[in-house]
A and B are shown apart, each in its own frame.
Chain A
Amino acid sequence: DTGVSQDPRHKITKRGQNVTFRCDPISEHNRLYWYRQTLGQGPEFLTYFQNEAQLEKSRLLSDRFSAERPKGSFSTLEIQRTEQGDSAMYLCASSSGGVRGIFNYEQYFGPGTRLTVT
């Protein structure tokens, strides 16, 4: 257990419905990442937060996807009007900003939320 938690662990939804996932990072980590992993592939970067600011979004993140991190603590990822192609494992990771100017590259992943769109 890395200390990163995600909820729910599994979500089955019908095409066209909206879904929201939550990620709670390790408490002292100010950086939070979302990745998507499809079957048999490595995780792909979606978006990144430093504290509450969303600093980068991948082109994989269509307009139907939105992520927030209010108050720089937990984060939510919402998918509107889900499509079957959205079926994947959605992973959250967090990292600290480093200590005394030494950047900490290590990202710690949560268990993921597996989304199935029927």
Chain B
Amino acid sequence: QQQVKQSPQSLIVQKGGISIINCAYENTAFDYFPWYQQFPGKGPALLIAIRPDVSEKKEGRFTISFNKSAKQFSLHIMDSQPGDSATYFCAASIYSGTYKYIFGTGTRLKVLA
């Protein structure tokens, strides 16, 4: 019940295309859902995040769509660029004395030039 399931494991997109990564969770107590971008050899960098009282959040080319009833959320990268090639992790945060993150298994995105 504490897991966050992420798909696909890898994704190849043409430059200018839309990249879509999906995550699903079971525990309805999760109340914060960030997405992180990680380049090889680097730590994860916060990209965008959403609370469950909002169905969509957009920041530049990145959009999170949130479906509370389905317990799913997704990251959309519009106009994907080769520089977006990285591993993306979704996460969910649950309060149990502290807000620790539970991460998905990651999606390796490659954007072809």
Contact = CB atoms under 8 A, between A and B. Distances in A.
A-B complex is real: yes
Interface stretch (A12-20, A61-69, A72-80, A106-114): A106-114
Interface residues of B, number: 25
Contacts of A45: 100-102
Given A42-B105, A111-B42, 18 more contacts: A2-B43, A40-B105, A41-B105, A41-B106, A42-B6, A43-B89, A45-B101, A45-B102, A48-B98, A48-B100, A55-B97, A95-B99, A106-B34, A106-B46, A106-B49, A107-B46, A109-B44, A114-B41
Contacts, number: 63
A105 B45 contact: no
B96 interface: yes
B111 interface: no
B43 A91 contact: yes
Interface of B: 6, 32, 34, 36, 41-46, 49, 89, 91, 93, 96-106
Contacts of B44: 43, 91, 109
A43 B103 contact: yes
Contacts of B98: 31, 48, 50, 55-56
Contact of B106 (A31, A33, A40): A40
B43 A107 contact: no
14 contacts: A31-B98, A33-B100, A40-B106, A42-B89, A42-B105, A50-B98, A56-B96, A91-B43, A95-B99, A105-B99, A106-B49, A109-B36, A109-B43, A112-B42
A41 B96 CA distance: 23
A109 B43 CA distance: 6
A42 B103 contact: yes
Given A55-B98, A111-B42, A111-B43, A105 B103 contact: no
A108 to B, nearest CB: 7
A56 B101 CA distance: 13
Most chain A CB within a 10 A radius of its CB, from B6, B93, B103: B103
Contacts of B32: 105
